[in-house]
Structure 1
Amino acid sequence: MVRIVGEVMTQDVVQAHRETPFKDVVRLLDRHRISGLPVVDDDDKVVGVISETDLVRRQAALSTDGRARRFPIRPPGRSVRRADATARGAMAQELIGTTARELMSTPAITVHPEQRIADAARVMERHSVERLPVVDEEDRLIGIATRRDLLRVFLRTDDEIRQEVLDEVATRALGLPTHSVAVSVRDCIVTLAGALRHRGDIPLALRLTYRVDGVVGVVNSLTFHVDDARSSEEPSG
């Protein structure tokens, strides 16, 4: 069975608006023990995402830029400790005046609830993000899917994966007789062996197997009886 994002997403989403102050963003993250949240506009459309990384990056930028701008040369008679304290105070004031609009990463990487979990996991990996806001057809926020949510699907045993490949791919999709294809699974990597009737069935078998939730790789050891690809290229007469 193909699992979709809507089955594992969290519907009660902790979120911020573009004008949410920095201190309130920090409070939300701390109170709910999360490492990031989506930012929405007045229509609940996702406009960005804030992560702890964004906050640290902003704080580091203010620390560096603030000292360079305010203290290019240490004033005579002022100690290093006093100068540092003044810089930290100025940085804190600037952070307090910062809003989610300035902190967020944009555009946000989002997914739809009907997307396959495996595809969403690949999006997450490609963009190096820990969470994906889930949106409807109008890009309105309806849920959140975290890396942990998606990885739960991949916590399947090799036996479970093997049985689904046999039942859903070999028997139901390809209509193969029982035991005509040997399926073995080790560490979520599936090996297909045996002889299919047509050569053109092999790519389909590999593609369907790869789409089974929990599969991270497919090894092709299949052969065929009829080379339908070659026969279709031969002139008719």
Structure 2
Amino acid sequence: MTTEVTTVGPDTPFKAVALLPATWNISGAPVVDEDDLVLGVVSQGDLLEREAPHGLLKPGSRQAKRKAGAAFVADLMTTPAITVHADDDVTVAAKLLEEHHFHRLPVVDDEGKLVGVVSRSDLLRAMDPAALYVSVHTES
């Protein structure tokens, strides 16, 4: 888990968020309120959906229209946020990432406040490489 997380607020302009991938070398950021409660996530996919809808959202749907005209993160972010708790097992996070086709998940405490972000690569580092090797080679 990464504990030093770049976040944005719901009132952050689209143009500022569009700079995140290049300037901070990140592919997304949790959207938090003034109390660090996670409201949603804004990702490269959300940015692309605004500029060039590519089929993840049904054309003409309320969400597609909201993202197409987004001037601020509040209209661009994916919400509600899918999160994991800091004490959840790695398998919980892995299942959520796979189920929702996400690359990262905000990690929250018992009050819903952001404490970090867990990515697919974080989960792979946490797993036992020998167990992964055995699993892959016994299923073949």
Normalised by the length of structure 1, the TM-score is: 0.48
Question: Which residue type is aligned with residue 120 of structure 2?
Answer: R
| Aligned partner letter, 1:117 | V
Match of 1:91 in 2: none
Q: Is structure 2 residue 94 aligned with structure 1 residue 124?
A: no
The letter of the residue matching 1:108 is A
Once the two structures are aligned, what percentage of the paired residues are identical? Answer: 43
Structure 1 unmatched ranges of 5 or more: 1-8, 62-93, 162-185, 190-215, 220-237
Number of residue equivalences: 125
State the Cα distance separating 1:28 from its structure 2 match. Answer: 2.3
Residue 140 of structure 1 corresponds to which residue in structure 2? 113
Q: Post-superposition shift, 1:148? A: 1.0
Which residues in structure 2 correspond to 1:3-152 (within 5 Å)?
9-61=1-53, 98-152=71-125
Q: Answer whether contact 1:133 1:144 (CA < 8 A) is retained.
A: yes
Would the alpha carbon gap of residues 59 and 113 (structure 1) be closer, same or farther in structure 2, given more than 3 Å must change? Answer: same
| Long gaps (5+) in structure 2 | 54-67
The alignment's C-alpha RMSD in Å is: 2.4
| Deviation for aligned residue 1:29 | 2.5
Runs of 4+ in 1 over 4 A off after TM superposition: 216-219
**CA deviation digits over 1:60-112, x for unaligned, max 9?**
25xxxxxxxxxxxxxxxxxxxxxxxxxxxxxxxx97x7110011000111001
* Cα shift at 1:134: 0.4
- Structure 1 or 2, whichever has the larger Rg, is 1
Residue 217 to residue 110, structure 1, CA distance change in 2 (3 Å): farther
Q: Which residue of 2 aligns with 1:227?
A: none
Residue type at the aligned position of 2:134 = C
- CA positional deviation for 1:155: 5.7
Are 1:156 and 2:102 an aligned pair? no
Change (3 A) 1:122 1:217: farther
Cα deviation 1:17-66 (Å, max 9, x = unaligned): 000011111222221111111100111100010111111111125xxxxx
Cα deviation, residue 218, structure 1: 8.5
Q: State the shift of 1:153 in Å.
A: 2.4
